[in-house]
Amino acid sequence: MKLGFTLILDGDVKIFRVGSTSFILAPFEKAENVMLQLMVDNLDAWWDHITKLNLAAEFGVPEPTPPQTQPWGIRITYLVDPSGVLWHIGERRQGKDHDF
């Protein structure tokens, strides 16, 4: 919620929305490694937003990594949330329908 998501369902699963994008989180009691990817239209704007939150100091998590273009062509920043989930926040590329 600190990143600007709105909780729209709080039950056995949680559904969050930001703008026109939403995602579902469900409990996995034995999961040891969870990653989520969020695709956005403007990664630089998200990076500005993320850095202003000072997540590492507030939650004791690693510093987010600055956006970089990965070998597969998508610009991504990585951050770890307080529950240990690794977030990949990537920038949609024009003309690439699979960047949703």
Per DSSP, the residues of 27-59 read --TT-S--EEEEEES-HHHHHHHHHHHTHHHHH
pLDDT of 2 > 90? The answer is no
pTM here is 0.70
Most distant CA atoms of the chain, gap in Å: 38
pLDDT of 100 > 70? The answer is no
* Domain 30-91 in CATH 3.40.605.10: no
- pLDDT score recorded for residue 42: 94
Which tokens is 26 given? Answer: 């469900």
Confidence of residue 14 (pLDDT cuts 50, 70, 90): confident
